[in-house]
Structure 1
Amino acid sequence: MNRKLKLLTSIFMTFLKMGPLTFGGGYALIPAIEKEVVDKKRWLCSEEIADVFAVSGSVPGAVAVNSATFIGYRIAGISGSIAALLGILLPTFCLMLLLTIFYVQLKDNPKIEAAFTAIRATVVALIAYAAIKIGRASIVDFATGALTAIAALLLYFGHLHPLLVIVFGATAGVTLVKIRKHGGRSPLSVTRKPQDKESVYDYMI
């Protein structure tokens, strides 16, 4: 029980310190999540975290909240998802309270406006970095690269609803697997890296 409590506390504190980094939306938080969960804690591997971000961005809700909940569950089950969810939400909730109170008084301040202009520009770099990191784990061959390019073109030029693009990607993936199996080739897959530490799944409920 002490080991489980220690793990849950670690999950909560990890996402608690990442919560204030959610300026610009959840996608700006992706690099921080990957650095903490994959590089430092080594709870999940890069390919697993890429799957988490893909699923989190495909369902309704904020991608940061969805990702935290999903990652917490993968690490320590339902209690882990609750710990991660509380950790990611608490700082944002407190910050939003403060911004709501002071924004009306400060919104016309030139220094505040300049600061938010710079923050928006920085967020673009964070999102681009997140896209590159996810792309390295997700684009594993020519087929997945072509799907990425087609989806981007459909979004930019076709102005399709993101849900339709997601459905297209899922359908194309299933079709590619069937074609490869029919041709005697191995299906699309990514080799998972084994975790070096003791499996955290021992603590799941």
Structure 2
Amino acid sequence: MKEEWKRLLQLFWTFFKIAPVTFGGGFAMIPLIEKEVVEKRKWLKSEEVTDVFALSQSVPGGVAINSATFIGQRIGGIKGAIAAVIGVSFPTFLIVLTLGISYFVFHDHPKIEAAFLSIRASIVAIIAYAAIKIAKTAIVDKSTFAIMIIGIPALFFIHPIIALLTGAFTGIITISIKKKLGYKAKKDRKEKKKKDENEPVYYSGTGV
């Protein structure tokens, strides 16, 4: 019981620390979650966190809340999900409440406007960094690279949910075709290195 409460407190505190920087719809928290959950706490693997982010974007709700819910449930069950959601929600609630109260006093102040302008620019950099980090685990062969290349311009014309569903459907078809052709479907980048130490294996449709 003591260990369980300790884990719940760790989940709460981890997301409590991350929450104040969840500008940009929660995408800015992705590198921080990976650092805390994967590198520091070692609760999940990098590939698992990438799957959580993909799933969080494919269901209704904010990325921050959804990610906290999935990760909390994975680590501590229902109680873990509740602890993570409270942790990620509480700081945001306090910040929004404070900003809402002070908005009518400071919203026309030049320095405040300049600060928010810089914050928006910084968030773009953080989201780009998160995209690069996720790409390192999500792009494992030529087929996943092709899906990314096609998906980026497609997002300008179709809804993100449709893009995710299309990507999932394309992945299922791609893996099925590879299996029928006798090729090995990679699940992560490390797999190729491990296999190369033992025997040659085909990892993509071109036999690379």
TM-score, shorter chain, exceeding 0.5: yes
Structure 2 gap ranges (5+)? 192-208
- Amino acid of the residue matched to residue 58 of structure 1? S
Query: Do the aligned residues in 1 keep the contact of 2:137 with 2:189 (CA within 8 Å)?
Result: no
Alignment of 1:125-164 (within 5 A): 125-156=125-156, 159-164=157-162
What is the CA–CA distance in structure 2 between the aligned matches of 1:191 and 1:145, rounded to whole Å? 12
What is the CA–CA distance in structure 2 between the aligned matches of 1:42 and 1:69, rounded to whole Å? 18
Deviating beyond 2 angstroms after TM superposition, the runs of 4 or more aligned structure 1 residues are 190-193
Q: Deviations over 1:129-173 (max 9, x none)?
A: 0000001110000100000010112113xx111121112101100
Query: Do the aligned residues in 2 keep the contact of 1:72 with 1:81 (CA within 8 Å)?
Result: yes
SS in 2 for 1:35: helix
Query: Do the aligned residues in 2 keep the contact of 1:177 with 1:188 (CA within 8 Å)?
Result: no
**2:167 paired with 1:169:** yes
Query: Do the aligned residues in 2 keep the contact of 1:45 with 1:192 (CA within 8 Å)?
Result: no
Between the aligned residues of both structures, percent identity stands at 51
What is the CA–CA distance in structure 1 between the aligned matches of 2:148 and 2:25, rounded to whole Å? 22
Task: Show the counterpart of 2:43.
Answer: 43
Task: Show the counterpart of 1:185.
Answer: 183
Question: Structure 1 length normalisation: TM-score?
Answer: 0.90
Task: Show the counterpart of 2:3.
Answer: 3
Q: Deviations over 1:48-85 (max 9, x none)?
A: 11111111111111001100110001111111100000
Measured after TM superposition, the shift of residue 191 of structure 1 is 7.2
What is the CA–CA distance in structure 2 between the aligned matches of 1:135 and 1:12, rounded to whole Å? 28
Query: Do the aligned residues in 1 keep the contact of 2:140 with 2:189 (CA within 8 Å)?
Result: no
Measured after TM superposition, the shift of residue 31 of structure 1 is 0.9
Query: Do the aligned residues in 1 keep the contact of 2:20 with 2:92 (CA within 8 Å)?
Result: yes
What is the CA–CA distance in structure 1 between the aligned matches of 2:46 and 2:34, rounded to whole Å? 8
Structure 1 gap ranges (5+)? 194-205
Task: Say which is worse superposed, 102-111 or 124-133, in terms of deviation.
Answer: 102-111
Structure showing greater relative contact order (alpha-carbon pairs closer than 8 Å, 6 or more residues apart) = 1
SS in 1 for 2:155: helix
What is the CA–CA distance in structure 2 between the aligned matches of 1:25 and 1:103, rounded to whole Å? 20
